[in-house]
Amino acid sequence: MVWGLALVSLVAFLLAFASHSPGWMGLGLLVGFVCAIAAALMFIDRHLRASSRPEHMTEREFEALRSTLRKPGGPPPRLPPSDTH
């Protein structure tokens, strides 16, 4: 569908530049710009969907997150003593 919109926009621009009638030129430019903008927005949407993380977490991710939490009641971690010069 995205490549179809890009191809339609190219054909519409070719029609606009090859025609001698102002009506065909205007129609070609209008269809060309609308299809080009739609194709660009669909390419952006496709890229964002491919690079985004899912909204939910799996059980394995929950277990990994739980293992990083501190145990309640345990002694707090202490920093090593500083070296004074």
In a domain, 13, yes or no: yes
In a domain, 72, yes or no: no
Give me the pLDDT at residue 70, please.
66
Contact criterion met (CB below 8 Å) for 9 and 35: yes
Number of neighbours of residue 24 by Cβ within 10 angstroms:
13
In a domain, 66, yes or no: no
Kindly report the pTM of this predicted structure.
Answer: 0.61
Domain carrying residue 23 = 2-51
Render pLDDT for 36-64 as a digit per residue (tens, 0 to 9). 999 999 999 999 998 887 778 788 888 88
Cβ neighbors of 39 (< 8 A, separation 6 or more) are 2, 5, 6, 9
The total number of structural domains in the chain stands at 1
